[in-house]
A and B are shown apart, each in its own frame.
Chain A
Amino acid sequence: MSIRALLGVAVLGVVAAHAVAHAAPTGVIRVASKSFTESYILAEAAAQVIEQVGEARVERQVGLGGTGVTYRAIESGAIDLYPEYTGTLGLVILKDPLLRTPEEIRARLAPRGLLIGEPLGFNNTYALAVRAEMADRLGLATLSDLARHPGLTAAFSSGFLEREDGWPGLQRHYGLRLARVRVMEHALTYRALVSGDVDLIDIFSTDGQLERLRLRILRDDRRFFPDYAAVLLVRRETVERFPRTWARLREVFEGRLDDRRMARLNAMVDLDGRPVPEVAAALLGTARASAGRAAALMLEVSALTLDHLVLVLVSVAAAIILGLPLGIVAARFRRAGQLELGVIGMLQTIPALALLMFMIPLFGIGKGPALVALTLYALLPIARNTYAGMIGIDRQLLEIAFVLDLGRLRRLFRLELPLASISIMAGIKTSAVLTVGTATLAAFIGGGGYGTLIVRGLALNDIATILAGAAPAALMALAFHVLLELLDRLAVPRGLRL
């Protein structure tokens, strides 16, 4: 097969993979979430409601990597519905701090083919919390009260400390002074507060810990913090196609969840370690028989193994199909080759996560774009090693090939590629083992694989779930290594192994 034909096949393969991933089957609502507890619970509950109504099938794309991913995905139609917050919609997505009410936001979303329902009830905004005992002692109830106690110490998460809608703005708004402010990981601030290391921490008003610890949230009496009222963000065409479903979702969710109830649900996941589907069912008031946690996790791991394997095999295969010709071309045209390898190298310097993000506007979310990104990532070791193998061939052997007048293709397939095979195989091995690791990031854009568990485990602070994703990934990398070492014996000619 000629190089051009090989390239053609490669392009077709990528396009086909993309088409498969993008084809929207009729009667499906794709429900997504970001990767934190509350978002998982709300998305799962919405998914369960949709299933109960039975008007459409549900596809879950949960645990996506942040607002950038979810918003671009819903705008491009890669997903249909996810829980969002009015503050995020106004400040981060529409970038207009004056947008406050759901009506204002709804008006601005309409031209984009999106709409939001009424708020679900709770407001997951920033707030400051103190120990209840201290609040009673000092008579602290509001943020204004805080101005009278400049001797207090605080631990804030870095986001809160830097954002204009966090500490800098708050300090000016209320004229606050504190004795000392420390930066701390959000998960650790609760412990610091309870143990008395600090007197004040920033929290999200529906954090699960609030329910369990004797804390007092200081009321934002002069309305500084923007509202982060939870709403369902949905594509208009989904509402039009599945009106009964949308009506039912509104009925179940709107105005039904206050801060305390949401915090309790978050606590069930974060602190009690109960599975998200079970907690979502609790939210809906439906009983849900949950399999044993370990058994459920095992089942998920085995399903994701196939998923992960597909990600790795398809992307590495595509990288071989593309990388081999690219390496060959680079070796043949040295100067252009340096440029080419430079470009491929540059792809590698893009952080994997950023590369995945770049895929969203081009290809949406899911397996397709994840495969494209993983393929680009797997390319460099293969192209580089092919190039190195080709230019490393003894010049005399090439001259003899010229004198033997073998013709280009025969020379390539009979002499050059076999002579470069040790180097090429080394590239493929490197690429495959690396891709097993990189593929865990696919979960951030809904690509599936072991990363799904890792992302969820990180979001829910659940070591067992993280390990359920990370350990099989490590095993798979090892398996690939061993398998490819064996394959070496087939791919590298015997004469080179003697």
Chain B
Amino acid sequence: MIALREVTKRFGDRVALDHVSIDVAPGTTHVLLGSSGSGKSTVLRLILGLVEPDDGAVLVDDTAVGPSTRAALVGRMGYVVQDGGLYPHLTTYQNVALGAEARRWPRARIATRVAELAVMAGLDASLLRSYPRELSGGQRQRVGLMRALMLDPPMLLLDEPLAALDPVVRAELQGHLGRLFAALRKTVVLVTHDIREAAVLATTVTLLTAGRVVQHGTFADLVERPATPFVTQFVSAQALTLGTPAGR
């Protein structure tokens, strides 16, 4: 379980998060929705222990994330970022295997797991020897996902994983991620500004703006019972630009 309790985070004078509380139930997919600067990525970074809250607490499996606990907690998380976040000097295989190498898995076990993940992520096995610069954006993202899943962590944190992709690839990967999350029963926190990703993937959604929670609920709640006019505005603005009606 992942929870934020009344968390406030400032960067200098700027308040990135203002008394934010979020609960993510185990095995569900929680989407943090908001435009850029809303503070949604900061939530992920707090959960990972990359930044510390100025006030309030971040709990992972009932343990407060802090300097003494974060190293242990982070071992239970996979982290996927925009464009994959791959190491350019390592091949696909080496990128994916990093975490397992550090834990001294035997070679054969690593090889089996990587092959398994390639199938799971829909990556052609011939690309395992390629370097990141030789891959397409979609392929890089699949590799990033494989790396996050390598050690089979119970929690998966994704920061705008599909934002850099073209619409066709994005739609395809969205479907793929949805099926994967359902099959693997991971606790997922996904950050996006794309309303359609929320529609396809979310069990629950938190809409953030300017560091505050605007609404918390299912995607249907946002569409059908918007808490403020801003919610309607946010939902419909993107629906218009996408040319498709929001909702399922």
Interface 1/0 per residue, A370-403 and B, CB below 8 Å:
0000000000000000000000000011011011
The answer on a CB contact under 8 Å between B99 and A405 is yes
Q: Are A404 and B98 in contact (CB under 8 A)?
A: yes
Of the candidate stretches A12-20, A27-35, A411-419, the one touching chain B is A411-419
Of the candidate stretches A46-54, A74-82, A490-498, the one touching chain B is A490-498
Report whether A494 and B131 are in contact in the complex, using a CB–CB cutoff of 8 Å: yes
Tell me if B133 is interfacial: C-beta within 8 Å of chain A.
Answer: yes
User: Complex Cα distance A397/B102, Å?
Assistant: 16
Question: Are A403 and B89 CB-contacts (below 8 A) given A410-B102, A498-B133?
Answer: no
Q: Is the CB of B89 within 8 A of A406?
A: no
Q: Quick check: A400 and B89 within 8 Å, CB to CB?
A: no
Q: Which residue of A lies closest to B148 (CB)?
A: A403
Question: CA of A410 to CA of B99 in the docked complex: distance in angstroms?
Answer: 10
Chain A residues closer than 8 Å to B219, beta-carbon distance: none
* Interface-side segment among B3-11, B70-78, B115-123, B182-190: B70-78
* A396-B85, A399-B48, A493-B89 known; A404-B99 Cβ under 8 A: yes
Contacts of B74 in A (CB 8 A): 402-403, 405
Q: What separation, in Å, do the CA atoms of A404 and B87 have in the docked complex? A: 12
A498, B87: Cβ atoms under 8 Å?
no
Answer whether residue A25 sits at the interface, using C-beta atoms and an 8 A cutoff. Answer: no
**Which of the residues A399, A418, A419, A498 comes within 8 Å of B131, measured between beta carbons?**
A498
CB contacts (< 8 Å) of B81 on chain A: these are 396, 400
Closest to B49 in A: A402
Select one of A400, A407, A496 contacting B88, CB under 8 A. A496
Q: Tell me how far the C-beta of B178 lies from the nearest C-beta in chain A, rounded to whole angstroms.
A: 23
What's the count of A-B pairs with C-beta under 8 Å?
Answer: 58
Q: Name which residue of chain A comes closest to B131, CB basis.
A: A495
A residues 405-451 touching B (CB-CB < 8 Å): 405-407, 410, 414-415, 418-419, 421
A407 and B134 form a contact (CB under 8 A):
no
User: How many A residues face the partner with a CB closer than 8 A?
Assistant: 21
Interface string of B48-60 (1 = CB under 8 A from A): 1010000000000
Q: Is the CB of A496 within 8 A of B102?
A: no
Please, how many angstroms separate the alpha-carbon atoms of A400 and B147 in the complex? Answer: 10
Across the interface, A400 reaches (CB within 8 A) one of B45, B79, B101, B132, namely: B79
- With contacts A403-B48, A403-B74, A498-B134 taken as known, whether A419 is within 8 angstroms of B79 at the C-beta atoms is no
Which residues on the B side are within 8 Å of A494 (C-beta)?
89, 131
**Chain A residue with the shortest CB-CB distance to B45:** A399
Complex interface bits, A462-498 against B, C-beta within 8 A gives 1, otherwise 0: 0000000000000000000000000000000111101
Beyond A414-B98, A495-B131, A498-B133, is A403–B87 a contact (Cβ under 8 Å)? no
Q: Decide if B238 is an interface residue (CB 8 Å cutoff).
A: no
Give the shortest distance, in Å, between A492 (CB) and chain B (any CB).
Answer: 8
| Contact assessment for A495 and B102 in the assembled complex, using a CB-CB cutoff below 8 Å | no
Nearest neighbor of A411 in chain B, beta-carbon distance: B102
- Mark B110-147 against chain A: 1 for CB-CB distance below 8 A, else 0: 00000000000000000000011110000000000001
A494 and B134 CA atoms in complex are apart in Å by: 12
Q: Which of B78, B89, B101 has most A Cβ within 10 Å?
A: B89
Is B180 among interface residues, defined by CB-CB distance under 8 A?
A: no
**Do residues B71 and A405 form an inter-chain contact, with CB atoms below 8 A?**
yes
Known: A396-B85, A403-B79. A495 touches B48 (CB 8 A): no
Nearest residue in B to A400 (C-beta to C-beta)? B85
Does residue B163 face the partner (Cβ distance < 8 Å to A)? no
Q: Check B131 against A403 for contact (C-beta < 8 Å).
A: no
Residue pair B132, A399 in contact (C-beta under 8 Å): no
For window 77-116 of chain B, which residues contact chain A by CB distance below 8 Å? Answer: 77-79, 81, 85, 87-91, 98-99, 101-102
Choose one: B50, B98, B132; the contact of A495 (CB below 8 Å): B132
Cβ contacts under 8 Å, A419 to chain B: 87-89
- Residue of chain A at shortest CB distance from B98: A404
Residue numbers in A under 8 Å from B91 (CB-CB)? 495
Question: Which residues of chain B come closer than 8 Å to A410, judged between CB atoms?
Answer: 101-102
Q: A-B pairs with the 6 shortest C-beta distances?
A: A493-B89, A495-B131, A403-B79, A495-B89, A418-B89, A404-B99
A residues with a Cβ closer than 8 A to B are: 396-397, 399-400, 402-407, 410, 414-415, 418-419, 421, 493-496, 498
18 extra interchain contacts, Cβ-Cβ under 8 A, other than A399-B45, A495-B88?
A: A399-B79, A400-B85, A402-B48, A404-B98, A404-B99, A405-B99, A406-B98, A410-B101, A414-B98, A418-B89, A419-B88, A495-B90, A495-B131, A495-B132, A495-B133, A496-B89, A498-B131, A498-B134
Give 22 CB contacts A-B under 8 Å: A396-B85, A399-B79, A400-B81, A402-B48, A402-B50, A403-B74, A403-B77, A403-B78, A403-B79, A405-B71, A405-B74, A405-B75, A405-B102, A406-B98, A415-B87, A418-B89, A419-B89, A494-B89, A495-B131, A496-B88, A498-B131, A498-B134
